[in-house]
């Protein structure tokens, strides 16, 4: 029997997982992606941002956090060498990209072509100069920053996350538009290195689905770290004055407010990268928001073509992109596709302190008419947090009142992005608060916060 021919377009995280999985299942796989190799996570997303944030957090901690531990240091000579930080980050991502490249080129079952692909019809594509007929295709072309069309935009001061990650000489002032993960992380990065940063966010409250105690506590901790955040603020138009931006904004109540800055960082979301793919030729339909529309099997409107990762317009996070990639690669080969399970996707904001959540919040459970039990504890009541002097934080757990199954958790505080996995595992294994209550935790650890909240919920406290 001849092998199924699978074309994967885009060699970011979703595309590499799709290609590897389709090859493992015996397909003849072509993976097309133009240079530079690596995809968003390695080249200008998760990895470079976390590398630079680590330097900024350490710098900030040395300047402001030592006295809490009874330590003192003359920090007058401490200097953040931004150019050195960016060079170190560049060297690190070059190595990561190289290793990802080798994982593809060393795979004898994947033919990698460093070129763009464009659909010609429902079962063919132009891949570089080659016309390629496929049995199945996976679109995994990722996303690009979304810049809302506000009057007065100018390239003179407009910044995206890419510009921040490449910047070797910081401006004096920056307004960040958007208090999502990218805005808060990069805003804090700049602020901790001494840039005068303000964040403006159209939403108020910041999140309707979170417990307000938790959302407010998190934003307060971020503000305390030196990053002012203005909620409920809509930017109406810009002016450019001597190369700088003047933002004309208004509050929900209609009051006007102006901000001026050397740069404006647009952290206003991302949109599917579909330019040049000619999806019309392949009869692949888009959602209203312009992303590739997929069904629960990750199949597009053309049943031969699947899509995975950011291009689907779903939650733009790495864990979902790789899961999607694996499933799209599987479904591209199987005769009967597998349903992509709705999983509890853990997400995080890597600020200081961190924010993380997984599964359902109380309000989301109530919207689904699920009666709930909840538990909540601030880090100020956790021994390890007290001795570490890291008491900014809180954890809330939501469980089903009927089955006592753990449904979700939301938290902020030191180590939240790691701690949330305890709850991710519990949800995946369908643990109840009673079964979790039997798990021993090391004392004194930050992880004990979970056990204390569960104790409260089961009445063991």
Ligand X SMILES: Cc1cc2nc3c(=O)[nH]c(=O)nc-3n(C[C@H](O)[C@H](O)[C@H](O)COP(=O)(O)OP(=O)(O)OC[C@H]3O[C@@H](n4cnc5c(N)ncnc54)[C@H](O)[C@@H]3O)c2cc1C
Paired tokens of 427: 């949800």
Q: Which is nearer to ligand X, 37 or 436 (by Cβ)?
A: 37
308 CB-near residues (< 8 Å, 6+ apart): 14, 15, 17, 18, 138, 139, 140, 298, 321, 324, 325, 327, 328, 329
Q: Which is nearer to ligand X, 21 or 458 (by Cβ)?
A: 21
**CB of residue 88 to ligand X, shortest distance in Å:** 17
Q: Which is nearer to ligand X, 161 or 300 (by Cβ)?
A: 161
What angle is formed at CA 234 by the lines to CA 229 and CA 240, rounded to 5 degrees? 95
**CB of residue 71 to ligand X, shortest distance in Å:** 30
| Residue sitting closest to ligand X (CB) | 12
Q: Which is nearer to ligand X, 356 or 372 (by Cβ)?
A: 356
Strands laid side by side in the 406-413 sheet: 347-349, 354-359, 406-413, 394-400, 372-378
Q: Which is nearer to ligand X, 214 or 277 (by Cβ)?
A: 277
Which residues of this chain interact with ligand X, rule CB under 6 A? 9-15, 32-34, 39-41, 45-46, 49, 116-117, 140-142, 161, 182, 273, 276-277, 309-311, 316-319, 321, 350
Please give the biggest Cα pair distance in the chain: 73
**CB of residue 288 to ligand X, shortest distance in Å:** 20
Q: How far apart are CA 309 and CA 325, in angstroms?
A: 7
Q: Which is nearer to ligand X, 282 or 382 (by Cβ)?
A: 282
Burial 292-330, CB ≥16 within 10 A → b, else e: bbbeebbbbebebbbbbbbbbbbebbbebbbbbbbbbbb
**CB of residue 113 to ligand X, shortest distance in Å:** 9
**CB of residue 165 to ligand X, shortest distance in Å:** 7
**CB of residue 142 to ligand X, shortest distance in Å:** 2
Strands laid side by side in the 256-261 sheet: 233-241, 244-251, 256-261
Q: Helices then strands (H, E): number in the chain?
A: 13, 23
């Amino acid at each position: 029997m001849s092998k199924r021919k699978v074309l994967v377009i885009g060699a970011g995280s979703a595309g590499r997982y799709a290609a590897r999985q389709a090859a493992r299942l015996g397909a003849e796989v072509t993976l097309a992606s133009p240079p530079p190799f690596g995809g968003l996570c390695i080249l200008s997303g998760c990895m470079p941002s976390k590398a630079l944030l680590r330097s900024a957090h350490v710098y900030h901690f040395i300047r402001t956090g030592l006295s809490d531990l009874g330590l003192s240091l003359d920090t007058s000579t401490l200097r953040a060498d931004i150019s050195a930080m960016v060079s170190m980050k560049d060297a690190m991502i070059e190595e990561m990209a190289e290793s990802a490249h080798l994982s593809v080129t060393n795979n004898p079952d994947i033919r990698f072509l460093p070129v763009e692909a464009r659909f010609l019809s429902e079962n063919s594509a132009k891949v570089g100069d080659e016309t390629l007929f496929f049995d199945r295709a996976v679109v995994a072309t990722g996303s690009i920053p979304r810049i809302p069309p506000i009057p007065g935009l100018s390239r003179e001061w407009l910044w995206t996350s890419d510009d921040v990650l490449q910047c070797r000489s910081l401006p004096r002032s920056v307004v960040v538009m958007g208090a999502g993960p990218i805005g808060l992380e990069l805003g804090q990065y700049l602020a901790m290195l001494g840039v005068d940063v303000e964040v403006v966010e159209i939403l108020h409250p910041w999140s309707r689905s979170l417990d307000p105690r938790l959302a407010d506590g998190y934003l307060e901790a971020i503000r305390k770290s030196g990053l002012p955040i203005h909620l409920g603020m809509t930017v109406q138009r810009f002016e450019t004055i001597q190369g700088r931006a003047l933002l004309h904004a208004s509050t929900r109540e209609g009051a006007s407010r102006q901000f001026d800055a050397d740069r404006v960082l647009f952290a206003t979301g991302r949109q599917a990268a579909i330019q040049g793919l000619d999806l019309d030729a392949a009869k692949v339909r888009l959602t209203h928001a312009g992303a590739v529309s997929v069904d629960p099997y990750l199949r597009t409107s053309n049943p031969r073509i699947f899509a995975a990762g950011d291009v689907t317009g779903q939650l733009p996070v790495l864990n979902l992109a790789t899961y999607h990639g694996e499933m799209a690669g599987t479904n591209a080969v199987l005769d009967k596709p597998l349903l992509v399970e709705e999983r509890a996707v853990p997400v995080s904001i890597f600020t200081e302190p961190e924010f993380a959540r997984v599964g359902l919040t109380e309000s989301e459970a109530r919207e689904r008419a699920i009666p709930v039990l909840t538990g909540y504890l601030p880090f100020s009541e956790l021994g390890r947090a007290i001795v570490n002097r890291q008491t900014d934080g809180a954890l809330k757990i939501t469980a089903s009142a009927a089955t006592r199954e753990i449904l979700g958790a939301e938290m902020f505080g030191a180590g939240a992005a790691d701690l949330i996995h305890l709850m991710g595992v519990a949800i995946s294994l369908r643990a109840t608060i009673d079964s979790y209550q039997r798990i021993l935790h090391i004392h004194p650890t930050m992880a004990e916060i979970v056990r204390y909240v569960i104790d409260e919920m089961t009445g063991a406290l």
